[in-house]
Structure formats: structure tokens, C-alpha cells
Chain A
């Protein structure tokens, strides 16, 4: 075990933390918007909306993220119509391709979490709300949404951790985040164990922080009786 090397590489690897956090937070926020849209489409009761949403989720959950990343980064650029479109300045950048892919991925996974959360809201609450004279919109806003947030929070916390882990894949399309830098150092120094320990610890610290924040939020929101 080369402790000195670990110490040196630690300072190199932490340079990748901002990029990891940046990509994760941008795609999580955008992905949450997409997830809400897809979840609402799925439970809308209209086949023209729920069927495309179902197949979107099926497609994303059934294929590896790495393949999706390659598809967006290399695949779309094959067409000259894409290369000449106004989207090209975005699609030619690995940074935006990474964010786009992660957004779509978390959008699909989170939509299932949100859908489950909305469906878990007991009918009694909705009935009680309409008995109190609230209309459908107000019921959704004041009753369904707060309960959904509370019910979906633990699963969403897991999704956030999966996002941090998934962000390591963007190192394959040349972005130098934590894993990218770690890989470069490994191939230079040939010290896989040491670098793994350093980079791994950084990821564990990030993920433990997420677990801590989510569990604090869970406590603050209190518990809701499922039925």
C-alpha cells in the first residue's frame, strides 16, 4: 500500500468532485420535471398518453445506461439533419450529452417512484378532502402532492444515490469527473487498489451525505399512515 500515492492522488481526484456534483444536480432537477410529466401521463387514464409513457419507461429501464449514452453521443450524430439542426451545439458536447442521457434515465426511473407515490395516497384522504368542499385541483395540490412527496422520499433517496453512481459513466465519453481522473491515475501509476480506495471513499462520503439529508427530510416531514 503506497500511502503517499494515495495522499497525492486524493488532491487530484477531488478536482473531479465539482463536475460530478454539477452533472448530477442538473440532470436530477431536469429529470424530476420529466419524471413528473411521465408519471402524470401514466396515471392520466388516457391511452394516448399512458401507452407512450409506458413504453418510454420500458425502453429506458430495459437497456444499459452506457448504451443510451453511446446512442446519444455517437448514434445521433450520424445524421446530417441532426448535425445541421440547432440542437447540434448541444449534442456535440460530451457534457450536454451526459446531462441529457442522465436526465432521460432518471426521468424514467423516478417516474415509477412518483407514480407509486401518487397511487399510494389513500382514497380516504381524497374523499375527506372533497367532503370538506375542496375541488379536484385543490385536493391534488394540498392533499395528494404533500402525501406523495413523503411516500416517495425514501425511494427517491435511493434514486439520488444511483444517479451519483451513474454519473461515473460520463468518464467514458471523455469527461474528467471523479472516475475519469481515477482511471487516468490508475493507468499511469498502476496502483488500482490505492486509487480505488481514494475514489471509492469520496463516492461513499457523497452518498452518505445524501442518505443523511434524505433521512433528516423524512423525519421533518413525519410519517403518514398508509391507510
Chain B
């Protein structure tokens, strides 16, 4: 049974591992894109400008109320068209085709961004008003206030939430296998079709996902401990 996982040309071991690497890569880049989107839309949601709040609310409502698969189809079928349309405005008339990695990252990043928005908004809200006021009293503004005082606190509070978003994002990347990106899901489908052993390869895929989850949990726990330095844990009280 294990000979199908041999490395090299006789088995699928190295292909499956490359698939796992691709899953991690596309998940990580989607998470980062999602956090950037999250910061932007959380700022919109917290702003005093009505239009920005409405736009941010429409975005999060749509993403959270519509199946991920539909969003992926929209970008898979419409992504290249949209980019070419934009390029035309800037005077480029050639054909542009986006690769599966870019489409996947943008699609899953857009989904992940909606969840990150809520996490970051909640974290900013939970930073006490006094922190802003104290910072301003000390004469800080811009980077000094947000970068040195607010961000470290937001990061600490948002980290567990971002850990959850990472889990969701990781699992959502399985959906972009429908666009042809060869990650764990796609690779195990190819191998299952080629060897007629779907059970074996889907079991291998399950194990790979669980390993990635387990390993990333350890990393997030470490990061949480690092950011919580100087804070007394609840158990110690």
C-alpha cells in the first residue's frame, strides 16, 4: 500500500509533499492579503464616514453570506476579464491571463479578509480609550501612536482570532483545486485517478491537512505567548 507514496517517478510521495507545500504557500499568502484587506476594512468600519462604513459592511455581509465556491468561480471566470478591462483603461490592449495561484490567492484572500476585518475591528475596539488619550497626551501621533502603542496591543488581542482565520483559510484553499492549482486536494485527486486508489490518497490528504493544522497551532501558541509577555495569564490569577 505504501509503495504508491515512493519518491521519484515511481510513486506520488514527492508530488503529495509539493502539494502540501503549495497549500501552505497559497494559504499563507491569502492570510497575509486577508489581513491587509482586514486592516483596510476594519479602518473603514471604525471611521466616522458613513459611506466607508456602508461599503465595509456590504463587503463583510456578502462574503459571509455567499458560498466561497461562488466567489472563487467569480474570480476564476471573471478575474482575467477584470484585469484586462483595467489594463485597457491604462492603454494596454493585449491578452492577460492570470495564473491559478494569483486567482486562488485573491479569491481566498478576499474571503479571509472578511473574517480578519471582524477580528481586527473587535481587537481595536477592545483597546481602552485611555491608551489613545495617553498617547496623544505624550505628544504622539501617526506612527508613534498607532505603531508603537496601539498596534502591539491590537496584535496581542487579535492573534487568537487570526489563528482561527488561518484555520478557515487553510481549509478554503481546498476549494481552489477546482481552478486547477495543484495543491493537496488537486494532487490527491490526480493521484487517485491515476492509481485507482482514491481511499489511500484521500486518507493521505486528510493526514497532511491535520499535520499542517497541528504544526500551525503550535506556531500560533508560541506567537501568542510571545505577544502576551508582561501579561499575567488568567490561570495565574
Contact = CB atoms under 8 A, between A and B. Distances in A.
A42 interface: no
Contacts of A196: 70-71, 73-74, 78
A207 interface: yes
A187 B77 CA distance: 8
Contacts of A64: 170-175, 185, 209
Contacts of A208: 65
Interface stretch (A43-51, A136-144, A166-174, A215-223): A166-174
Interface stretch (A3-11, A90-98, A198-206): A198-206
B98 to A, nearest CB: 13
Interface in B50-106: 61-62, 64-71, 73-74, 76-78, 81
Interface residues of B, number: 43
Nearest to B205: A67
Contacts of A89: none
A65 B168 CA distance: 11
A175 to B, nearest CB: 13
Interface in A172-227: 172, 179, 182-183, 186-187, 190, 192-193, 196, 199-200, 203-204, 207-208
A200 B199 CA distance: 34
Contacts of A134: none
B65 A190 contact: no
A204 B199 CA distance: 36
A63 B209 contact: yes
A18 interface: no
B197 interface: yes
Contact of A79 (B192, B199, B205): B199
Contacts of A58: 210
B68 A165 contact: yes
B223 interface: no
A85 interface: no
Contacts of B188: 67, 70
Nearest to A206: B65
B209 A186 contact: no
B198 A192 contact: no
Interface in B147-204: 167, 170-175, 177-178, 184-185, 188-189, 192, 196-200, 202-203
Interface of B: 61-62, 64-71, 73-74, 76-78, 81, 167, 170-175, 177-178, 184-185, 188-189, 192, 196-200, 202-203, 205-206, 209-210, 213-214
6 contacts: A63-B206, A70-B198, A75-B198, A179-B69, A183-B73, A192-B78
Given A58-B210, A166-B67, A190-B77, 10 more contacts: A59-B210, A64-B170, A66-B174, A77-B198, A78-B199, A169-B67, A183-B73, A193-B74, A203-B67, A204-B66
Name the 7 nearest CB pairs between A and B, nearest first: A64-B174, A168-B67, A192-B78, A192-B77, A74-B198, A64-B171, A78-B199
